[in-house]
Amino acid sequence: MTPLNRNQIAWRAAQDIWDGAYVNLGVGIPSLIPDYIPKDREVVLQAEVGIIGMGPTPKPDAVDPDIFNASTQPTSFVPGGSTFDHTDSFLMIRGGHLDIAMLGAFEVSEKGDLANWNTGDPATAPSVGGAMDLAVGAKAIRVLMEHTTKDGKPRILKQCRYPLTAAHCVKAIYTSLAVIDVTPRGLVVRETIPDLDFAQLQAVTEAKLTLSPDWRVIEAPAIAVTV
């Protein structure tokens, strides 16, 4: 079995964004999503810095230094795109106007608690940015992350160890091994990568998993890692 790479995780999550959705993409793996949204769907991307209708990364000769995203990287507008100030941007985020926020995470608990802002390292100033606003404000939070840490430890836990960004907010988790829904009955595995059996998945997941009756295998295209 071969885990999904970061781009394939982004591809898989992109397939579940519906036509007409208003979406905010966090830094890390979620920032790869725009390349993989099915071409027949119109998805409107919002950026904290004050853009709705964000377009693709411009070619180097088309970069306008005044058009940047929440990672301070060059971006562009799609036709219909617009800008606004920060109070309107966070009214949009905090007031429940976004359909989905796709976020990276350090850890997610079986209740859908999210930890993605602070590793508790006392030497580093904790940096929350807009993470708490998005986690509380968007209608649905979907997390994209590697299934385990670099040294193989679970990130999907009974309880988060790192300080929380928000409690009970995550609705779905897209990892390098599986797609998992957070439900009132616990974590339900909707999809797994080929040649991975359920016991293997449970072994690298601290929280208890159940298999959905509709469970299927992810058929991801081969995609090279870009970042």
Sign of CA dihedral 20, 21, 22, 26: negative
Residue 48 or 191: which CB sits closer to another protein?
A: 48
Shortest CB 54 distance to another protein, Å: 10
Binding site for another protein (CB under 8 A): 47-51, 63-70, 72, 74-75, 83-87, 89-90, 93-94, 118, 123, 125-133, 136-137, 163-167
Torsion angle, CA of 212/214/216/219, rounded to 10 degrees? -120
Residues with Cβ < 8 Å from 20, sequence gap 6 or more? 41, 42, 43, 44
Residue 95 or 221: which CB sits closer to another protein?
A: 95
Residue 79 or 221: which CB sits closer to another protein?
A: 79
Shortest CB 49 distance to another protein, Å: 5
- Whether 146 is catalytic is no
Catalytic hit among 48, 110, 146, 191 = 48
Please tell me the distance from the alpha carbon of residue 144 to that of residue 170, in angstroms, as a whole number. 11
DSSP symbol at 26: -
Which residues are part of the catalytic machinery? 48
